[in-house]
A and B are shown apart, each in its own frame.
Chain A
Amino acid sequence: MVNKRFHSVTLDASKCKGCTNCLTRCPMEAIRVRGGRAFIMDERCVDCGECIRTCSYHAKVAMTDDLGIIENFEHRIALPAPSLYGQFYHAKSIAVIIEVLKHIGFTDVFEVAKGADIATRMLQEELKNPDRPKPLISSACPAITRMIQIKFPTLLPNIVKVKQPMEVAATMARAEYSKKHSVPKDEIGVFFITPCAAKVTAVRNPIGQEKSEVDGVISMLDIYACVFPILNKITPDENIKIATPYGVGWANSGGESRATNINKTMAVDGIENVANVLEEIENGRLRDLDYLEGAACPGGCVGGPLTYENKYVARNKVMQLVSELPCERPEETVPCRVLNSYDFKMDTPIPENCSMQLDEEVSTAIEKMERINDILESLPGYDCGSCGSPTCRSFAEDIVRGYCNITDCIFILRDRLKVMAQQMVDMSNTKRE
């Protein structure tokens, strides 16, 4: 199932008008418009979903699994991301939301917020390790991790080596269910309910581990549609044990930092904002910071591209639900037994992604850069996107990489046509003489 080129975010070519709206908004400069339609450059896209938000024609879509996929297993566990709790404004408690999932086909539910509780404990341990670089950078948002692989490779050592809460939860869910019901592990299907495309890609093409523990990823929008009509008819089991307020709090930007219970943390949301702060860290600023929590989405996961509810409403709903939980910390609820008997540390390195590089050889890259600079001088510098590249600089780079031609610039083309027209006039004049 591992596929290095897989991306959840894809283009529905039948809907794309080639309008260039998404082109300039992609934080990775990963989109090009050629021949009247957009293309996503696989090696640069981080599945942040920004283009899904901006496309007025809904031509950018996130590939997820259909809810029907759960039928492949007799035993099916739902793993709701904590951001799901913010989607239901009228839900009386988290218990109701957990219960309702059992009414749409799941046999059991394991909260990803519990995975976040465990991840919090692991994170606290890693923060105590004096050999780790500062600040440590959260590994929870896969879009941010991928951006670091491409744009900030010098910060790769700073990424926390703890698996994402989704993976932690999947491992725990499967193990506990298997033990409790005496079912072989491979007969249990574990399904993540996702707020975003980045997590879908992170399951198909895992970060820091060989293989994902998740068997399928279902969009929060699809779940919302099934759950909403029946939510009020549900009587929950109020005795079930919910994750701590800190684990649930991971849904909002700032939640992770609060969970660590240390002071020198910083939470940044919105992928461009995170990029700016990473830039500062690379410059050696923020030296006294211990932890950076970066979320690609505005507001954190409650602002994910596959959520239904307005992100501010969702944020507040999560806070309200959290305030009704018993005041417990992960240190109290996560038993040492769990930390000792499972390994939730990443076990494969997170490599640099060299897709920004002009060439493998520095000397050839320098030659290419010289050509780019020469071409750039002849371009108007409007960054208008009409050529199909996001900026004049990226257009010059695309020419040198062999992706397009200088006359794709409408201003260059116009000038050339003028010259040609003049030459034709001159030519016909000469003939007449």
Chain B
Amino acid sequence: MTANRRFEAGQRLRDIAAGRLRRHCATGAVALDDISVSFFSDRSVTVVSGVSLTILPGEFVTFLGPSGCGKTTLLNLIGGMIRPTTGKVHIDGALVTEPTPVCNIVFQQHSLFGWMRAIDNVAFGPRAMGHPDPRGEAMRFLRLVGLDNHADAYPAALSGGMQQRVAIARALATAPSVLLMDEPFGALDAQTRSIMQEELLKLRRDIAPTVIFVTHDVDEALLLSDRIFVMRAMPGGLKEEITLDGEFRHETDVLRNGKYRKLRQHILTQIREETLKVFNRPDGGR
């Protein structure tokens, strides 16, 4: 791990071929090619500019940055929910133009279908995709997130953490190549969040889609990621790339690790710089 180290796709591919990396997915390669996004609604606002990056199949990549720097916009681009003003997004060589089951998404909160029981939320995808046994498939994924005993509950009767677990099960039940997660644990209390992070890592041992994760929590990013993109603000873009290969994932007490503390401090400084930019702009960063 080195800050600012250019990511070497060739080396990574050789690692995968040699089985040195645990993941061995064939799909889920994401390529952003000179992306910019402007919203013309009021004055022409450029929200994201000049973003190019490649994400490998099965990689866990995090966009880290202050609110308003364009993290959600990047995620929406990759999912096809918005179109870039310039540039192109490809997943596994196919141009992304609209949301399709190649990707799936977990939002911060309240995105479950409130009128469906947990099991029907999870079975929605398998049903839509013509799975022969959608309920059985849904049960399998609910069991995976430890909620098979809450299958018949409506979302409103579940805690925030449980709702997010159902949302994760629902997103995984169609076997997406790329899983987008927009601050998925951001609305949870610290204890629940930390358990959810461990659960997410466990899930990834069995099901290994490419994960593109958005957060403004430095510890969360350091704990989970193979690679972190620290974002710059106004306009949004990539400020720094940090490759970890998940090295802090299995540490029990990261804060005792000097390397972790140094890296954390470095990132915090970077983010603070960007936060001030957003903070000091005329509209206060709304």
Question: Do A and B originate from a single complex?
Answer: no
> What is A's interface to B at a CB cutoff of 8 Å?
none
